[in-house]
Amino acid sequence: MEPIVSYQDVTKTYGDLKVLQDIDFNIYPGEKVALIGPSGSGKTTLARLLMTLERPDSGTIKVNGENLWQEKVNGKLVKAKEKHLHEMRKNIGMVFQHFYLFPHMNVLNNVTEAPTTVLGLSKEEAEQQAVEMLEKVGLSDKLDDYPSQLSGGQKQRVAIARALVMKPNIMLFDEPTSALDPELVGEVLDVIKEIASEDDMTMLLITHEMEFAREIADRIAFFNDGVIAEQGEPDELMNHPKTPRLQSFLSRVNS
């Protein structure tokens, strides 16, 4: 099976710090992959490179077999222009740790804005799909509310609906519950679990919620100091960590 996303020899440096070092990593269609590891280990950067928020310093990222950061012009590979990136982004959606809802729009409009503006859907069509999606995340009674009136968990669920309504086939979740009060974490994880179970969507989940990762992921990759130190099946990886770094990470997280 061809990977839906592949990183080949990807490096990203910020100043002196090598955040990602020669990363080779594949994600297969429909796979749910969890990225775990200490802060600053490079997992968020991996997602951001895919979402075109940052450019890799070297290496190749391919989505559906097509080069993300380069395009073929007259038979030669050149740096990708915005038009190409725009085309590639249609496949990818992202949910951020701090939600980033549009504060000047109510919940319904937050979800319909992208479909109408970017996809050109009519207001009615967009609203219909938005209402469906908001029902799915359990917020049909909040359509007229503004983000400032919502709890963190509700905000994140709106953010998820807003990303899903664009129908990406790859969804990235960058620590979706890390900014939430503990009692609000569950409602967001439940929504993500539902998406995972009913969809053949490819999902990349960056999380510190270990039990959640174990439950939902087909594969877990442990990041440390800019490299993938270990990866494998969730139970195997978490019950029998092979590398000392993973062992100490898990013991610290579970304490």
Minimum distance between the CB of residue 225 and another protein, rounded to whole angstroms?
A: 25
One-letter amino acid of 72? K
79 to 118: interface string for another protein, x by CB under 8 A: ---x---x--xx-xxx-x-x-x-xxx--------xx--xx
Structure tokens at 200: 């053949």
Residue closer to another protein by CB (options 98, 242) is: 98
Strand order of the sheet with strand 170-174? Answer: 92-95, 170-174, 202-206, 32-36, 219-224, 227-232
E strand or H helix at 60: strand 58-63
E strand or H helix at 12: strand 5-14
Residue closer to another protein by CB (options 14, 100) is: 100
Residue closer to another protein by CB (options 89, 245) is: 89
25 to 64: interface string for another protein, x by CB under 8 A: --------------------------xxx-----------
Radius of gyration for the chain, computed over Cα atoms and rounded to the nearest angstrom: 19
Minimum distance between the CB of residue 240 and another protein, rounded to whole angstroms?
A: 36
Binding to another protein by residue 123, rule CB under 8 A? Answer: no
CA–chain centroid gap for 194, Å, is 16
Binding to another protein by residue 167, rule CB under 8 A? Answer: no
Structure tokens at 214: 């174990």
Minimum distance between the CB of residue 236 and another protein, rounded to whole angstroms?
A: 33
- One residue of 4, 68, 166, 204 binding another protein per CB under 8 A: 166
- How many residues touch another protein under the rule CB under 8 A: the total is 24
Q: Please enumerate in sequence order all residues whose Cβ is within 8 A of that of 29, keeping only pairs 6 or more positions apart, or say none.
A: 1, 3, 4, 169, 200, 202
Terminal alpha carbon distance of the chain? 39
Q: What residue ranges bind another protein (CB under 8 A)?
A: 51-53, 82, 86, 89-90, 92-94, 96, 98, 100, 102-104, 113-114, 117-118, 159, 162-163, 166
